[in-house]
Chains A and B, each alone.
Chain A
Amino acid sequence: MNHIPAVHAEGLVKSFGDFRAVDGVDLHVDQGEIYGVLGPNGAGKTTMLKMLATLLPIDGGRAEIFGVDVRRDPHRTRQLLGVTGQYASVDENLTANENLWLFGRLQGVSSRTSRATAAQLLEQFGLQEAANKPISQFSGGMRRRLDLAASLITRPPLIFLDEPTTGLDPRTRGQMWDTIRELVAGGCTVLLTTQYLDEADQLADRIAVIDRGRKVAEGTPDELKASVGNSTLRLRLTDAAEQTVAADVVRRLLGEDPVLSPESGRLNVALDAADRAADVLISLREAGIGITSVSVDAPTLDEVFLALTGHDTGDSVDPSATADSRQLEVAR
């Protein structure tokens, strides 16, 4: 079948002075895919999205949206895109209804159709009761939903979502995820950025990991997680002095180097499967090494980063990870 990729970019570059916010990124998103761009704050995710959405000039490389050259034909590109930014890009002075109507009118939708589509979208996003309220009375989740609804008014085939759930509570986040899945089921292609591995994991068909403006890894969520193990075993030893011995035991058993933090007697190790944790615990007991606490968690973005780049994300919130990670300041 003669179809074209939704996004195709080669060697994208964006510089701000000497700082390269995006430094030669290739991107290929097929139609009907949810493609996740994963990275910490300041990695260049938003900048990349803005270049693809014609909101920032492309300094180097080239990009095509459904085969349309972004730099040469921005007007055509804009007709194929819906952009939902990190911060709600709706008009505070208007009601939800008025916002959607205006965005429809600005894109050449007739007044009547605009009104009908606005009503339909507000219902679909559970906002019909707030339709005529000023946006200032909206909660964060409601704003995000309205923002997304505003991107859909002309039913564009490609949607950009810049950190769609940052700052949302878990329930609202789940709703947002469902909405995104519905979009794709309806034929949309979605390119989203996120700081959360679990979000990329839940939604994306494929993920690109971005660090300091470069793509450091790409693959399905499973491939990505496999690179750091599917889960992480975190141990705290009774006697920090036994750490080296414990590390040897783990290395022999799993063939994997654990991450140590000598001061606190902590030891983290990636596991292929969570049930390998039992093997580790048994071996440690046999070696006579005491343990004060144990947990098995999914790998955090920080660990994925550490594994892929050799440094952490620079804005870690995981207290167990801070002690042993080299606190490198991510540029910007």
Chain B
Amino acid sequence: MTMQMTQPAPVATPPRRLTPGDIAARTTSHNSLRETISQTMSMAWRATKKMRRNPEQFFDVTIQPLLFTAMFAYLLGGGLSGSVEAYLPLVIPGILAQTALTACMATGVQLREDMEKGVFDRFKSLPMARIAPLAGPMIADLLRYAIASTLTFVTGIAMGYRPGGGVAGVAMAIVLTMIAGWSLAWVFTWVGTLARSAQSVQGISMMIMFPLTFMSNALVPVETLPSWLAAFVKVNPVSYVVTATRDLANDGTVTGHVGWALVACAAVIAVFAPLSVRSYKRHL
């Protein structure tokens, strides 16, 4: 291969040898916060490119809201609330949390698949913050949560749901769902860095997702549950999110539940983000 470049022939001056001073000058001891954010956003950019080129990644966030909303509303509405219309205000925020959780389960599976690829060797060899390859795709996934929650509301409204919170309440509910999805995705990201294959990530994630969604107040009122189950439901972070979403979408009020939901999300991040980064660093 010929080097047809405008720069002078490299042999003209013998290259200077580097001294310890040169090395200190051209390196830094760690990534600054600004660098970390910039790297995370670059990884998010990569993930959106990937999404656009693999549109099948949007199946779960487009089909599932339509299917689940209709299915659960018609299936359980009559029995639980007397009619489908009466059940919708209860179930729509529940489905919202459920689809967000399914969507963020895919985050872990895709991370695992991604980590198998050669390009991850390069990411590891670059002086980039170890959190960036994990957090980047999760930021891109906000788009998926937004699609999923918007579609859930659209389906609900088509079925006769009239959210009392109005446009503002619904918008806030969508934002809260996105925040919750992003937070809970750290659980699955952690699983993604731990498990040996994408299949096992899928399996483990299912085992986490099912109790989290169904053992919550997403589909049924807590009062109907036996006390031992109600005890778990009450500490389940998904319940906080569902209750807060109901307050926002149905009443348009920012209640204490919203605050607690955010605290629950923060707690999940505080535990699982460091675990994920630690496990990613170790995993090779």
Binding site for B on A (CB under 8 A): 1-4, 31-32, 53-56, 66-68, 73, 75-76, 78-81, 83, 85, 87-94, 98, 102-103, 105-108, 120, 123-126, 134, 145, 150, 157, 175, 178-179, 182, 185-187
- Are B45 and A75 closer than 8 Å at their CB atoms? no
Q: Which of B20-28, B85-93, B139-147, B197-205 contacts A (4 or more CB under 8 A)?
A: B20-28
Cβ of B279 within 8 Å of any chain A Cβ, yes or no, is no
With beta carbons under 8 angstroms apart, the residue of B3, B23, B30, B38 that contacts A124 is B3
- Are B122 and A150 closer than 8 Å at their CB atoms? yes
Q: In the bound complex, what is the Cα–Cα distance between A55 and B132 (angstroms)? A: 17
- Are A123 and B5 closer than 8 Å at their CB atoms? yes
Q: In the bound complex, what is the Cα–Cα distance between A93 and B118 (angstroms)? A: 12
Interfacial chain A residues near B158, Cβ < 8 Å: none
With beta carbons under 8 angstroms apart, the residue of B26, B118, B127 that contacts A87 is B118
- Are B11 and A126 closer than 8 Å at their CB atoms? no
The smallest C-beta distance from B245 to any residue of chain A, in angstroms, reads 34
Interfacial chain B residues near A125, Cβ < 8 Å: 1
Chain B 87-129: CB-based contact to A (< 8 A → 1; otherwise 0)? 0000000000000000000000000000001111111111110
- Are A157 and B121 closer than 8 Å at their CB atoms? no
List 13 extra interface pairs beyond A1-B19, A66-B23, A87-B118, CB under 8 A.
Answer: A2-B20, A31-B18, A32-B15, A32-B17, A54-B124, A67-B20, A67-B23, A75-B30, A76-B23, A76-B29, A89-B121, A126-B1, A179-B1
Q: In the bound complex, what is the Cα–Cα distance between A4 and B118 (angstroms)? A: 32
Q: In chain A, what residue has the closest Cβ to B120?
A: A89
Q: In chain B, what residue has the closest Cβ to A90?
A: B119
Give B136-183 interface residues, CB cut-off 8 Å to A: none
Cβ of B236 within 8 Å of any chain A Cβ, yes or no, is no
23 chain-A/chain-B pairs, Cβ below 8 angstroms: A4-B19, A31-B18, A53-B125, A56-B284, A67-B20, A68-B27, A75-B28, A78-B125, A79-B28, A79-B127, A83-B121, A83-B122, A85-B121, A88-B118, A93-B50, A94-B50, A98-B49, A102-B46, A103-B126, A105-B45, A107-B126, A182-B10, A187-B10
- Are A187 and B122 closer than 8 Å at their CB atoms? no
The smallest C-beta distance from B193 to any residue of chain A, in angstroms, reads 16
Interfacial chain B residues near A87, Cβ < 8 Å: 118
B interface residues, tally (CB under 8 Å): 45
- Are B125 and A81 closer than 8 Å at their CB atoms? yes
- Are A79 and B27 closer than 8 Å at their CB atoms? yes
Q: In the bound complex, what is the Cα–Cα distance between A76 and B20 (angstroms)? A: 12
Interfacial chain A residues near B126, Cβ < 8 Å: 78, 103, 106-107
The smallest C-beta distance from B17 to any residue of chain A, in angstroms, reads 4
Interfacial chain A residues near B10, Cβ < 8 Å: 182, 185-187
Interfacial chain B residues near A157, Cβ < 8 Å: 18
Cβ of B54 within 8 Å of any chain A Cβ, yes or no, is yes
**Known A76-B28, A124-B3, A125-B1: A105·B38 in contact at CB below 8 Å:** yes
- Are B125 and A187 closer than 8 Å at their CB atoms? no
Would you call the interface of chain A mostly helix, strand, loop, or mixed?
loop
Q: In the bound complex, what is the Cα–Cα distance between A55 and B115 (angstroms)? A: 13
The smallest C-beta distance from B129 to any residue of chain A, in angstroms, reads 9
- Are A3 and B127 closer than 8 Å at their CB atoms? no
Q: In the bound complex, what is the Cα–Cα distance between A178 and B20 (angstroms)? A: 30
- Are A102 and B17 closer than 8 Å at their CB atoms? no
- Are B29 and A73 closer than 8 Å at their CB atoms? yes
The smallest C-beta distance from A260 to any residue of chain B, in angstroms, reads 45
- Are A105 and B18 closer than 8 Å at their CB atoms? no
Interfacial chain A residues near B35, Cβ < 8 Å: 108
Interfacial chain A residues near B39, Cβ < 8 Å: 105-106
- Are A106 and B42 closer than 8 Å at their CB atoms? yes
Interfacial chain B residues near A55, Cβ < 8 Å: 121, 124-125, 284
Q: In the bound complex, what is the Cα–Cα distance between A81 and B11 (angstroms)? A: 22
- Are B29 and A85 closer than 8 Å at their CB atoms? no
Interfacial chain B residues near A53, Cβ < 8 Å: 125
With beta carbons under 8 angstroms apart, the residue of A54, A91, A175, A186 that contacts B15 is A186
- Are A89 and B119 closer than 8 Å at their CB atoms? yes
Interfacial chain A residues near B54, Cβ < 8 Å: 93
- Are A175 and B23 closer than 8 Å at their CB atoms? no
With beta carbons under 8 angstroms apart, the residue of A80, A103, A134, A187 that contacts B23 is A80
Q: In chain B, what residue has the closest Cβ to A176?
A: B1
Q: In the bound complex, what is the Cα–Cα distance between A134 and B16 (angstroms)? A: 38
Pairs of residues from A and B, 9 with the lowest C-beta to C-beta distance, nearest first: A187-B15, A3-B17, A78-B127, A89-B122, A89-B118, A83-B125, A186-B10, A105-B42, A175-B1
